[in-house]
Structure formats: structure tokens, C-alpha cells
Structure 1
Amino acid sequence: MNKCMIVLGLLLMTIASVQTACGTDDDPITEKPATPVPNPEGTGENDNSESGNDNKENNDNENNEGENKMNRNIIIHVGNRGFAATLEDNATARAFSALLPMTITMNEMNSNEKYHYLSESLPTDSYRPGTIRNGDLMLYGSSCVVLFYETFASPYSYTRIGQLNDPSGLASALGRGNVPVTFEINND
């Protein structure tokens, strides 16, 4: 009997320590790597959750009436080109729009995206989109803004910030190197 109690006690302590040491796949990664590691599949966290879906709906508008409404129209300037985009109606997009206007240098990765680590974390609600689309504006982790200029399949998780209304010409405007990009609210 004493031996069983000791084994049971050790088992319970092991389970408790494992549960406190491990997060869920939905926990945002808040540490930034010193340098992003290029990944042929695209940037994104490797989570083990079930396959995501391309048509995730965000129902974050329970209390978005009145003062929480925001202008969801932005312009993304690359060189002498301006691209109209529409932000999602979610906490991430609201936090992102509060940072605007801003000009950042976006770094090249995988010949399909540009990314930049913000100095602060944004709220996350990551999911696996399955397919990344040309013109998607996403958040990887909690502080990496990613602008995709190619369409491709991806197993990684992102939080959607917005989408360019017409991404035609985006790839050529962004080029193949690092590039300054300005994001601003479209007040028109």
C-alpha cells in the first residue's frame, strides 16, 4: 500500500510538472529569433494542431460598436506604388492600425514574402490558413508582420491582419531585396 501511494504521488507530480512546463499549440511565441531562419515553406510557426481552414471567420465584433470602430482601409506604399488594403475586424488589426502611419524596412524571405519584427507584441488569434494568398498581410508569432506577394500552400500558423484589395504588381514593386514599406490609414 505504501509503495502504491509513493508511485501515485510521483505520477501526479510528474503530470503536474509537465502541464505547467508545456503550453498549448495556441500559445503565442513571444521570443524573437536572433535572425529568422529561412524556411522553404514560408515563415510561420510549426504547430501540431489539426489542419486549418482557408475560410476562418473572425467573430470578434461582439463589442465593436461605437468607439471601437476603426477605419479598416489602409494604403501600403512601396516605392512610388500605393496599394489599397482592407484590415480585418479583429484585435490584431486594431492594434496594428494604432501604430499607423509607420515606415518599416521589410526583409526578403523565400522569394514569396517580406517581413519585419515590430518592437512590440500585438494580440494574436493564430490559425493555419492552408493557402497563403498574394496580398495577404499577416502576423507571425506576436510581432512579425508579413506581407506575402506570392500564393502558395503553407502548414504554418498566422494571425490575419488584412488583405490587399488588388495585389496586381505587388511582387514587382517589392522586388527581391529588403525594401522600405509605409503603412497608413486611408482617409479618402
Structure 2
Amino acid sequence: MKRLFVILITCILFIGCSKQQILSGNSKESINLQNEEFTNESNRENENKMQMNVKVGDRNFIATLKDNEAVDVLVEMLKETGITIKMSDYAGFEKVGALETNLPTNNQQITTQPGDIMLYQGNQIVLFYGSNTWNYTQIGHINNLSGWQEALGNGDVTITLSLEEKVE
């Protein structure tokens, strides 16, 4: 009787372990499929990223643009010609300049970082060299901040926005 009981328990454990291996295998396959989907999605995002030149005085900076309706409209404008904007200093952490038109907004409460480019009230471009928390629509971010604050300097500056080729 003990022998039969031990054999029965062994069989149950064996069946339980093999089910676990099958589930494990399926889980690994599922994880691999999820990773592949994530990689494909990331590749699609990188393929669609646009870049914009931000010329401040004689310095040129490259910004990676966000994917939203405001950026889509801005890109269409930039396909026709560059946009020159006179920027004024505000509160020692940002430069603000008016566009000649309104862009669609998708405002969110955001804490900005140096290099962020935002849309304020639908018709003002804001370049950050400091930090602020407010409602903005994200436009993009400067890729390399080396010399960014110095280029923006004190007082008013004039910037020119133009399109950069797609990231490969």
C-alpha cells in the first residue's frame, strides 16, 4: 500500500512538473513575442522621428520633435520655409516668442528641463534653459545642450527654425 501511495504521489508530481515546463515554454514564447512587438514599435517610432534645426545667432542646435498634432502642423509650415522668431527672456529660465499663427494644443501640466521646446497658449514657442512647471504642449527637445544656455544668453534673441532630415 505504501508503495502504491509513493508511486501515485510521484506520478502526480511528475505530471505537475511537466505542466509547469509546458507553461514555462509558452510563457517564454509569449515574452519573446511581446519583446519582438516592443522592438518593432520602437523601430517604427524611431523611423518617424523628425528633427528640427534651431538656429540661435550663429549657433545651430538639433531638436528631436514629439509626435503630436501641433508638431504635424509646425512641420508642414517648416516644409515651406524656415520660421524666424524674436524671443524675449522670461523669468531667467526661458525664451518666449510669438508665432504668426495658432497651432493645435494638447496642453499638459509639465515640469520642463533645459532644452525643452514647448508651445504656450497655442501661438508662442518657448525655449527652456531652466526648469518650470506649467501647462504646455510639447514640441521637442534639444539633443545636445552644449552651449545652449550661452547661445540664448541674456535679453532678446532671434531664432530660426527649419527642418532637419529624418533620423535613420
* TM-score normalized with structure 1 length: 0.59
Equivalent AA in structure 1 for residue 85 of structure 2 = I
Structure 1 letter corresponding to 2:90: M
| TM alignment of 1:91-102, pairs within 5 A | 91-100=69-78, 101-102=82-83
The 5 A counterparts of 1:23-172 are 72-100=50-78, 101-129=82-110, 131-150=111-130, 152-154=131-133, 156-172=134-150
In our comparison, the structure showing a higher alpha carbon Rg is 2
The number of residue pairs the alignment matches comes to 118
Hey, which of these two has a bigger chunk of helix by percent?
2
Q: Distance in 2 between matches of 1:167 and 1:87?
A: 15
Unaligned runs of 5+ in 2: 1-43
Residue identity opposite 1:116 in structure 2: G
Equivalent residue number for residue 32 of structure 2: none
Conserved in 2, the CA contact under 8 Å of 1:136 and 1:163?
Answer: yes
Q: Shift of the alpha carbon at 1:99?
A: 2.2
Shift of 1:168: 2.1
Aligned pairs for 1:169-180 within 5 A: 169-180=147-158
Greater share of strand residues, 1 or 2? 2
Aligned residue identity for 2:100: S
CA RMSD of aligned residues (A): 1.9
How high is the TM-score relative to the length of structure 2?
Answer: 0.65
Report if aligned partners of 1:75, 1:183 keep a CA contact under 8 Å in 2. Answer: yes
SS at 1:161's partner residue? strand
Q: Which amino acid aligns with 2:115?
A: G
> Contact 1:70–1:94 (CA<8 Å) still a contact in 2?
no
Moved over 3 A (4+): none
